[in-house]
Amino acid sequence: MTPEQKSYLISQFSLLLDQLVDVPDEKKQEPAPREMLTLQECTEVIKGVSIHAIRVLIAKGKIQALRVGDSKRGRILVPKDSLIEYFDSL
């Protein structure tokens, strides 16, 4: 299992746990859908960073990513909040 798949499963598991936990009605909120970016869009959001650098950060587990489509040739999508959080921490 790839790190991307593990991250995806953990986020889905977390959502399921949140649904199982009894939370008072005033605190219940629908989670906002995460904005997902392609590698090209990542370079547009973070100026001066190459697609290769984004791929390296994904491989090192520094930012989350998910491959959709074919397991080897599918498109890589990065959650925008994960990308921004990483670069804000620098």
Q: What is the pLDDT along the chain (90 residues), one digit of tens a residue?
A: 788 888 888 878 787 877 777 656 665 567 788 899 999 999 999 999 999 999 999 999 999 999 998 878 899 999 999 999 999 998
Q: Tokens in use for 52? A: 């290769």
**Residues 58 and 7 sit within 8 Å (Cβ to Cβ):** no
Delineate the domains of the chain, giving CATH numbers in brackets: 3-88 (1.10.1660)
Q: H helices within the chain, ranges in order?
A: 3-20, 39-45, 51-59, 80-88
Position 28 scores a pLDDT of 57
pTM metric for this prediction: 0.65
